[in-house]
Structure 1
Amino acid sequence: MKKLSINLFMAVLVVVLTGCSNTAVRHHKDYQEAAKNVGSVVIFPADAEVELVVFDGDNERLTEKEVIIKNELYKIAKAKLEKENLQVIEFDFQQEAEKDENFAYAITQAKEAWNVAKQDMYKKGVVSEKNKADFQTNLGSILNFVAEKTNADSALLMHFNAFEKSDGVIAKDVTTSILVGLLTAGAVVPVQTTQGSFLDVALVETTSGKILWANRRAGAAADSSVAKGVLKELPDLVWKTEVVTPELATGEVSNSSKQ
């Protein structure tokens, strides 16, 4: 749970500081122009890790819940992207990875490149609203393979972490809070969380590797609800599907299109 705890701590810090006009959102410097070349998106299956925190520290992976959350994250992301007029391309990553080991390797490399990129993007934690588009993070050419397989102009990557405390751990936390309250005569009464989540998201142009937009946030529940808050901050850009050509702007239509 060490890695998860650190992530959650960082996320909570982000939530606190965003109240001071700071944000965890990242935009590429050229995101507005780049969006005009993006009309479709393929959604990577989310990496989801949900753990039950137990008293002896031998935490348990809640695999059934992970599958449910993966499916929910996909549905939430699909609905949001389609609302933004992006075409969501349906693609079976697992099936293709089983057939093509090169594709499977490319997916692994893409996720590793994203993890490295996050270290650079978030080394300052949160940034001011005016500086959120001051990034040029790039995953390189590794997503070209995804573009070839899916014909998608962009890819959405998601990494989800969550925890739930067992009844024994919750009881221990309650006892600790009561003792601290008694010792401090009520001046300090710790509030112990019983569950939580953390979501990292990035929208990447597949041909150039540019991370057009990224965001991260903590949630108070060990479920997919945090995704709605994260994706809500996806900017309303002019995508390729919304670009107005000179012909359309003037109302001109070619003879071939009329037939």
Structure 2
Amino acid sequence: MENNTLEDYKIAVKAKYEIEKRGTHSSVLISPSRARLRSLCLEIFKSNQNQNDLNVFSSFFRFDFSPSCSGKLKAQTDKFRPIETFLKGDTNLVDVEAINLAAILVDFQPRPFLKFSKSDWNKDAAKMKEFPGLHKKNEEIHTLKHTEQSHKNTFLEKISKKMVLIVLIVLSFALTSYFVFQKKQCMQWSDDHYELVDCELSTNDLVNFNTIKPLDKNLIDLKKINVCDTTVFFKNGEAIIWYTKTENGIEFFNTHGRHPENDNALKPVTHYILNKYVK
């Protein structure tokens, strides 16, 4: 017997949702939100002793269910976002445990996916009758695929020489930009910041005689800054401005690293430095 796939499972869960949003929990499922799904989840598990379901809960939320875990569950509200958008049809779900939890919320059986995959659910006519929405969903998917293919064929047929020319121009521009960027895989300090430069440039080609270095993405955003007594130097007690001493005095920078000209290590600013050199 061929196993049911994860896509079969998602289609079946969505079909059950279409039924349940007019059922007992319609007030939640007719317009699901993260907070409403969280509350429904708590309500279901308070009376749920199914070990498979409890395992799904533990695996998804990374803690075991208990009647007193509402506070911990509230902190996990955002984890219901992908389930919310999945049920609404806005996004797809790829996480098996998230789909398993969605199956619990709409009371789909058989669950979890491992049990569903080995069942004869999609081959049992009696069970299929319980989910008429599944047939409609499959028809919608087939129609959608057929429509998409028809649109694709129509689009390809309508491509003119003018469109081909536009595509070639765009590709030419993209390739040119790519090769230009590939050549600019080096950087050089210019006054108060790093600039991308051609690695093949020699010092004879430049007015700026600072050393050309291989591109370092951790340093490319380094900038020397001017500070005053109104500059914000700390955030949450941590320094966000860095400094070092040079022959010309003290210089400040927007992040950590090494001084681009003398290679001295930059240090986080301190109140002592501010009192002595700024205030």
- What's the TM-score once normalised by structure 2's chain length? 0.19
Specify which structure has the bigger relative contact order, considering alpha-carbon pairs within 8 angstroms and separated by 6 or more residues. 1
- Structure showing greater Rg: 2
**TM-score, normalised by the number of residues in structure 1:** 0.20
